[in-house]
Amino acid sequence: MLKNLIALNTLKEKRVISRVVIFATLFFLLAAIILSARPVRPSTSDSELAALKAELRNIEELRSDIVELQADVQELRRSSQRARLTETPVYPTTFSPDASALDDPFYGPTDAQVIVMAFSAYDCVPCRQFATETLPTLKKNYFDTGKVKFILRDFPVSAVDERSKIATLAHCAGEQGKYWAAHDMLWSKPQAVDSIDVVEFAGSIPGLSPQKLRKCWESGRYSEEIRADISDGKRIGARGMPGFFIGVKGSDGSFAGKFIRGAQPYAVFDRQLGEYLEQVQGKG
């Protein structure tokens, strides 16, 4: 229905633009005729003057029509844009968690029937938008209340890309029980890979040992974990950052749901989660 609306709006827009072009052409042709005409002689008859005035009125009316049609075009464009914005890129898919998924950082209950699995990267601007604007509200309303489990997985360009080192920094902090503190710090103060000061970063999080953090970070032992995250993300629909799998647990332990691409607003997640929670309650 929505795609038909967009197509209809686009067709209407093309028709209106065609009318604008026609009217504009007539306007300029008439203007050119009048401007190129000889000056009115004193002997010009009343009928000729009346005809000239009529032509001028027609030109003015055409100008008014052009202005109105231009306004119609702008409104159709805005309508088409609004329609496109309401069409969320959602794709049905399934997911079977493995050991890699189960040991990733998470919020909420470990055995939740409904999950949100995010694929993100710390150098991604839309990911930052989700982490700072949408995630806190989801956490408050769904994860902290025990309704839904949120799993965060890494999705940099590649597991050996320099930018994956930022994700490694958070995981290494997680070995000291400070993953989410590091996560929040990395988003509040974005780190460039070539300027990371591990000691300074550790000092910004109380209770984090700089020596242990550096040793872990330099070991590169999270490369395989990040590679598994990237592989799972691509397999279930991730094409860019961020991406989100939202699904409900089945009897075989797998999850059936949808993959959502892009940093969508809270309302999109709220609607999807509401549907799956109702589904779970209906089974109970």
pLDDT at residue 220, as a whole number: 87
* CATH code of the domain in which 108 resides: 3.40.30.10
pLDDT at residue 170, as a whole number: 94
* Residues 156, 123 within the same domain: yes
| Cβ-contact 201, 191 below 8 angstroms | yes
Boundary residue ending a domain (63, 85, 107): 85
Boundary residue ending a domain (37, 65, 85): 85
Sign of the C-alpha dihedral, residues 41, 45, 49, 55? negative
Which tens digit of pLDDT belongs to each residue from 116-158? Answer: 999 999 888 899 999 999 999 999 999 999 999 999 999 987 6
Rg (CA), the chain: 30
DSSP secondary structure string, 95-127? E---HHHHTS-EES-TT-SEEEEEEE-TT-HHH
Q: What is the pTM of this model?
A: 0.68
Boundary residue ending a domain (85, 100, 134): 85
H/E element holding 258? strand 255-261
* Residues 128, 60 within the same domain: no
For residue 170, the enclosing domain spans: 90-283
Total domains in the fold of the chain? 2
* Residues 11, 71 within the same domain: yes
* Residues 146, 279 within the same domain: yes
* Residues 140, 98 within the same domain: yes
